[in-house]
Amino acid sequence: MTSEPERPRRAQAGPLAPSEAERAAHARARGLDAPVIPGGRDPEPDEGLREDRRYGRLLLVFVAVIVSAGFVLGIIATILTGGPR
């Protein structure tokens, strides 16, 4: 045993993943200081939440229409064919 604590190993990149030097070179070619652009806060979170709620409601409406259309078409088909025998 050694007296030094073990350092966590870095995850190995896959064979097709670009190296750090490659990423840095591509970033410098685009005029960036670093290969990764740090994240930040949403400049207008209220507008984003409003849009999310709108699309959420639209998704629920679409699901309800698709499910009810199946029932309606099933009922119509049953009526037109004379019902189950």
Q: Using DSSP, state whether 4 is helix, strand or coil.
A: coil
- The Cα 72–Cα 47 span in angstroms is 37
Burial class of 35 by CB neighbour count within 10 A (0 to 12, 13 to 18, 19+): middle
Average pLDDT, integer, range 5-32:
71
pTM of the model: 0.49
Check residue 76 and give its pLDDT: 94
pLDDT at residue 2, rounded to an integer: 60
Cα–Cα distance between 53 and 46 in angstroms, integer?
A: 11
Q: Does some domain include residue 58?
A: yes
Q: Is residue 8 part of a domain?
A: no
Residue 1's pLDDT band (cuts 50, 70, 90): low
What are 43-85's pLDDT values in tens digits? 788 998 999 999 999 999 999 999 999 999 999 999 999 877 6
Instruction: Please tell me the total count of domains within the chain.
Output: 1
Task: Give me the pLDDT at residue 3, please.
Answer: 66
CA dist 28 and 40 (Å) reads 21
Q: Does residue 37 form part of some domain?
A: no
Q: Between 9 and 20, whose confidence is greater?
A: 20
The pLDDT of residue 35: 75
User: Residue 62's domain spans which residues?
Assistant: 45-85
